[in-house]
Amino acid sequence: MPERIAIIGLGLIGGSVARGLRARGHEGVLVGCVRTPADADRALALGLVDEAGTDAAVAVAGADLVVVAVPIGAMADTLATIAPALAPAAAVTDVGSTKLSVIAEARAGLGERFARFVPGHPIAGTEHSGLEAGFAELYAGRRVILTPTAETDADALATVTGLWHGLGARVTEMGAAHHDEVLAATSHLPHVLAFALVDSLARMAERTEIFDYAAGGFADFTRIASSDPTLWSDIVGANRDAILPVLSRYIGDLETLRAAIEQGERAPLMDCFGRAKQARDRFTAARGG
Amino acid sequence: MPERIAIIGLGLIGGSVARGLRARGHEGVLVGCVRTPADADRALALGLVDEAGTDAAVAVAGADLVVVAVPIGAMADTLATIAPALAPAAAVTDVGSTKLSVIAEARAGLGERFARFVPGHPIAGTEHSGLEAGFAELYAGRRVILTPTAETDADALATVTGLWHGLGARVTEMGAAHHDEVLAATSHLPHVLAFALVDSLARMAERTEIFDYAAGGFADFTRIASSDPTLWSDIVGANRDAILPVLSRYIGDLETLRAAIEQGERAPLMDCFGRAKQARDRFTAARGG
Ligand SMILES: NC(=O)c1ccc[n+]([C@@H]2O[C@H](COP(=O)([O-])OP(=O)(O)OC[C@H]3O[C@@H](n4cnc5c(N)ncnc54)[C@H](OP(=O)(O)O)[C@@H]3O)[C@@H](O)[C@H]2O)c1
Ligand SMILES: NC(=O)c1ccc[n+]([C@@H]2O[C@H](COP(=O)([O-])OP(=O)(O)OC[C@H]3O[C@@H](n4cnc5c(N)ncnc54)[C@H](OP(=O)(O)O)[C@@H]3O)[C@@H](O)[C@H]2O)c1
């Protein structure tokens, strides 16, 4: 494991990297970067890192590994800020939920250091955010997708792979475009749907007590609608090209179901619901319950 | 609490009534009705009821209270079957997820006994079904909606209210049409959306490993898509008139979001996601976490 690790952004994702490294006995120095002196103090008080500040260039100086864990909307600036301060041998990785957009920003921002950049995305998270949202075991048994480019140095890739293995995660490599398509379907689209549903009902609810009669299924279904609106507006903007086709397809599927319901046809509902249950039950079994 | 209680259908909902009565020390006789002799034996072996059989008319004979806990699609037949066998003073209730449809079926099936019928719906459930799905505490602290009609006898209403209070539930009364609208929004629509999403992805997934990269948010969001397809096709059919407007409205909201995403507009996303998070966080707070 690298001796000195800098983590830019200590929210759910970055904070969990810090906590995980601590919990698993990492012996090197952890440096954190946040946006306000008050948060830097709080990060130290929480024991997340050994050193904390608000200047990303200062944070990365001398680091062997830099983990950029800021929102998608802050990636470009952060990468450009740290570029001149990076040690020549430093490996840099990110945790952003979209990969083509971050790769383009890293190419522009890191310049000749781009080969040391390993694009990454841990498939783990909750609806919470901020300094206190993280926990050491967030990545245990979860997948991390790395999307190295043709230019990515093999030893930077090995360093970043080692980081995630050290946190208990399983690492998979795939192309960035493929990553963005898969995540559009399994993560970005569900977030859009959940936000849209809760908003739709909340606007109806001005006149009714609708949420009073929502049961456990509703709570589960809408949990992701408690996620951070800024973070998710950024993600949807950044992965627009992959999200639009799955969203359009989904709207088309809903139109078909609506027509069947309108015409009192039962077979299309049974087919759709039946296939869905089968797929969902297989998914549950594959996850081990 | 009534001395002799017959429960028709011992799946998640009926089985939980039986288990809850047992666990809370009900001292009368519990009679269960299922569809096969094998299930009747299993219900006795599981200790769900004291007597079990496959003939609903036999099960209700002499009962003070009858709880009809069969799927929506089986309500009409079941109510017509039990009508001639009911004791004059028996109260009858159901647990169906839609109320106008069941009330119409009860009026037709129960005839002059209709005044003894108390339409009900416990706002509690899971995605599981069958004899072993129930548990004693399913209703503890949860709401039950009763939708009595102008004809409903006050003492039948009191008996059924007492049943649910005895299971730890909170009882609310409202009109059946209002119930159907509220539940269309908070339960039936989310089920349709979750089934449709998993089906949509499953059909894409023939060529990809899409579900392998789904995280916890996806698991929560799609849990209700593991619900029973027959039960839910029945519910959607029975509550068609209330579901169609909320589904249409939701599709319209998605179209608006899609257009915003397509045009790269960020403000409509921030507005929608922000309002949703606020409403969802209020909902979480109201439920006590
Ligand atoms: N949430 C998930 O489920 C999830 C899952 C996988 C990957 N991700 C990705 O992980 C990244 C971080 O998300 P998160 O959930 O950890 O969010 P978060 O809890 O809000 O944490 C973001 C952190 O970055 C800081 N930050 C924001 N702008 C910054 C800037 N310009 N310079 C330095 N620090 C800045 C934030 O500080 P403030 O508190 O001052 O804003 C906060 O410490 C995002 O790129 C996201 O796409 C998220
Ligand atoms: N699931 C929920 O979350 C939920 C929540 C609130 C209300 N409800 C309502 O509760 C009712 C029951 O749902 P559930 O979730 O308990 O389903 P379930 O677990 O499938 O149980 C239904 C039970 O009824 C039996 N049954 C089916 N057709 C019958 C018939 N013609 N005569 C006698 N018994 C019959 C079933 O036997 P077999 O095993 O032989 O089919 C089973 O024992 C439905 O009306 C539903 O709308 C459900």
pLDDT tens column, B186-197: 999 999 999 999
CA distances (Å), origin B268, targets A199, B209, B255: 12, 32, 12
* pLDDT: which is higher, A154 or A1: A154
pLDDT beyond 90 at A285: no
Q: Does residue B8 line the site of ligand 2, with CB under 6 A?
A: yes
d(CA B222, CA B190): 10
Beta bridge partners of B161: none
pLDDT beyond 80 at A147: yes
Q: Which helix (H) or strand (E) holds B124?
A: none
Q: Does residue B145 line the site of ligand 2, with CB under 6 A?
A: no
Ordered domains of chain A (ranges, CATH): 4-174 (3.40.50.720), 178-287 (1.10.3660.10)
B273 and A240 within 8 Å at the Cβ level: the answer is no
d(CA A144, CA A160): 10
Residues of chain B with pLDDT under 70: 206-208, 288-289
User: What is the predicted pLDDT for the residue at B208?
Assistant: 66
Average pLDDT, chain A: 95
Min CA distance, A57 vs chain B (Å)? 29
Mean pLDDT of A105-122: 98
- Read off the pLDDT band of A138 (50, 70, 90): very high
Q: Is 0.90 topped by the overall pTM?
A: yes
Token pair in block for residue A184: 């559009």
Tell me which of A12, A77, A98, A180 to substitute to probe ligand 1's pocket, judged by most ligand atoms within 8 Å of the beta carbon.
Answer: A12
Token pair in block for residue B278: 């606020």
| B138, B172, B233, best to mutate vs chain A, most A CBs in 10 Å | B233
Question: What percentage of chain A has pLDDT greater than the value 90?
Answer: 89
pLDDT beyond 80 at A208: no
pLDDT in tens, A187-206: 999 999 999 999 999 998 76
CA distances (Å), origin A114, targets A124, A148, A156, A160, B2: 26, 11, 11, 14, 76
d(CA B130, CA B144): 21
Q: Which of A106, A96, A92 is nearest to A13 (CA)?
A: A96
d(CA A168, CA B178): 50
- Phi and psi (nearest 5°) for B231? -55, -45
Asked if ipTM goes beyond 0.90, one says yes
pLDDT in tens, A52-106: 999 999 999 999 999 999 999 999 999 999 999 999 999 999 999 999 999 999 9
Beta bridge partners of A215: none
Token pair in block for residue A145: 């997708």
Mean pLDDT of A106-130: 96
Beta bridge partners of B4: B29
Question: What's the B57 CA to ligand 1 centre distance in angstroms?
Answer: 62
d(CA B117, CA B102): 10
Q: Does residue B235 line the site of ligand 2, with CB under 6 A?
A: yes
Q: Which residues contact B151 (CB under 8 A, 6 or more apart)?
A: B114, B115
Which class for A92: exposed (0-12), middle (13-18), buried (19 or more C-beta within 10 A)? buried
User: What is the predicted pLDDT for the residue at A95?
Assistant: 98
